[in-house]
Structure 1
Amino acid sequence: MWMSVAISRKKENADDYMTAGNNIGFGVSAASMTATWIWASSMYASVTAGYTYGVSGPIHYGLWGALMILFIYPFGKRIRKVAPRAHTLAEVMYARHGRSSQLMLAGSNVLGSVISLTSNFIAGGAIIAMLSPLSFGAGILIIAAGVLMYTLWSGFRASVLTDFAQVMAMLGAAVIIIPAVFFLAGGPSMFAEGVANGNVTPQQESFFSSDAFMNQGAPYIAAVLAYAIGNQTIAQRLFAVREDLIKPTFITATIG
């Protein structure tokens, strides 16, 4: 909210509000793309993949998801070339293929957004309930109200800057909090004990587990390729980044 107030513009047209004037810089764009992919459900799913399939589970989750970001790059270049002032994928779909295709894509994206919001609100509400005296329901309302207010106030620019702040927080978690908790819980010796006690299967020990690929990797490859060319949350950042920065932005977000 503080960032939204700080960057608010009194005179702003629809292009600035929807896509930040197609002029977002490299660092913020790359961070926003990374944060868009590493959301609440990614945290749930990667942990579940590791528990279920062993060491190769998170690899199959993260690798194909990262390639999805890279996969959209050639499409993104083409879309920005044929529709330099577009705001949404549905707008491009309407111009190229007509109203029915636009409505199909819009319906799919609305459904996907509702699912995404629900997942994020549940995660946010749970965190607030754990870290404060407030209830889970109150936490969901606070998260929802905050997102709605900063979006109405400053449009897409506020969303991108919020993503940047989230990436900084996630890097802090990855570098400091997760390793600290891991070593306090027992460290690598936990894995050695699990293997010695027969709690880990050979498939779970393998970096090239066929179980992980068939049940986690292969379905996810299909899912992320569809996501890459049909998801508005990714495309919105494509429309916002400065056109000459599309390539370095997507490569950096893939690595991130």
Structure 2
Amino acid sequence: MLKNSLDTAFDAGGKVSVGLTATTIVSQWTWAATLLYSCVVASKYGISGPFWYAAGATIQILLFAMVSVQLKIRAPGAKTFLQVIRARYGATTHKVFVVYALATNIIVTANSMTGR
């Protein structure tokens, strides 16, 4: 029996199907800013705008899926990219990327709140 912990909550103790993994990848790439910009593209170019916007993002999603499979093979215990960075590059680089991740989330939140 697995202990209840944050790591267990991330991936259900390692018992996650391929379909759920695919859903997770799509939901992580669908930020509020992406949905907002998709609406902007729709208002400018009509119904085909969001379609082509999503088609362009498909390449990124497919590449990210391949990278995530390789990370799962090479770093099976890591649940976040920050854990991978800490294991590979050390604590100093980990702290730098924590700041970058926080700054990215602040920028996305500000963009979503201002509608830009």
| Pair in the same fold by TM > 0.5 | yes
| Residue 79 of structure 2: aligned partner | 87
Alignment of 1:1-256 (within 5 A): 11-54=3-46, 57-116=49-108
Structure 1 gap ranges (5+) = 1-10, 123-256
What is the CA distance between 1:61 and its match in structure 2? 1.7
Percent sequence identity over aligned pairs: 24
The 1:77–1:33 alpha-carbon spacing in structure 2 relative to 1, beyond 3 Å, is closer
Aligned CA distance change for structure 1 residues 79 and 103 (closer, same or farther; 3 Å): same
1:131 is matched with none
C-alpha separation between the residues in 2 aligned to 1:80 and 1:32?
14
Report the TM-score when normalising by structure 2.
Answer: 0.71
Residue 47 (structure 1) shift: 2.0
Match of 1:24, SS state, is coil
Contact 1:40 1:119 survives alignment (8 Å): no
TM-score of the pair, normalised by structure 1: 0.37
Report the count of equivalent residues: 111
Displacement of 1:68: 1.0
Q: Secondary structure of the residue that 2:87 maps to in structure 1?
A: helix
Cα-Cα RMSD? 2.7
**Are the counterparts in 1 of residues 25 and 65 from structure 2 also a CA contact under 8 Å?**
no
Counterpart code for 1:12: N
